Amino acid sequence: MKKDINLAVIDDDQDICELITAFFRPRGYSVTSFADVSDFLKDANLLPNFDVILCDLNLPKSNGIDFAASAKENSIAAPIILITA
């Protein structure tokens, strides 16, 4: 049995989140979107469940580079892929 891959998307642009979701869900990914890093970090129970994190480089309250740098402090082991329009 194939294991679903859990993908987190951190992006303040709802259209981008919907586009990424529309691309990955039919390919067997489980996609959860967050508007910013603080929303993502709010539920610490979810963090270990993600296999990959896509994070926008430029966010209103933070940025992807700072998030990636602080990932270890927040016990995030999943690979982080920075994206930008």
The predicted structure's pLDDT at residue 30 = 94
Residue 61 makes CB contacts below 8 A (sequence gap 6+) with 36, 37, 38
Tokens at 66, concatenated: 């700072």
C-alpha distance from residue 58 to each of 1, 4, 30, 53 (Å): 37, 28, 24, 15
pTM: 0.90
Q: pLDDT tens, 29-41?
A: 999 999 999 999 8
On the question of pLDDT at 56 being above 70, the answer is: yes
CB-CB contact of 68 with 39 (8 Å): no
Question: What token pair was written down for 11?
Answer: 């992006």
